[in-house]
Amino acid sequence: MTSLTAGLALAVEENRVTPGVLGFLVVALLGVATYLLVRSMNRQIRRIDLPEETAAPGRDADPDAEPGTSGNGTPAR
């Protein structure tokens, strides 16, 4: 029985497949590329200028509304 388990362990070691150095390099390069892309994306998002809020809080701004109205056609108070 001992020789059977020793032979089985030896057979498993001979047929073992590992990713090796190439697999590590591929994963490492993907990690570095992801880090650089996220850093670039954050830089681009910080450059975006958001327009100033012109409507009063709680009211929807209607860009097609006539001046002097509250957006629904009624005079502004």
Query: pLDDT of 7-53, one tens digit each?
Result: 656 656 677 888 899 999 999 999 999 999 999 999 999 999 888 87
Task: Say what the pTM is.
Answer: 0.46
Burial status of residue 2 (CB atoms within 10 A of its CB: 0-12, 13-18, 19 or more): exposed
**CA diameter of the chain:** 97
Cβ-count burial 47-77 (b if 16+ within 10 Å, e if not): eeeeeeeeeeeeeeeeeeeeeeeeeeeeeee
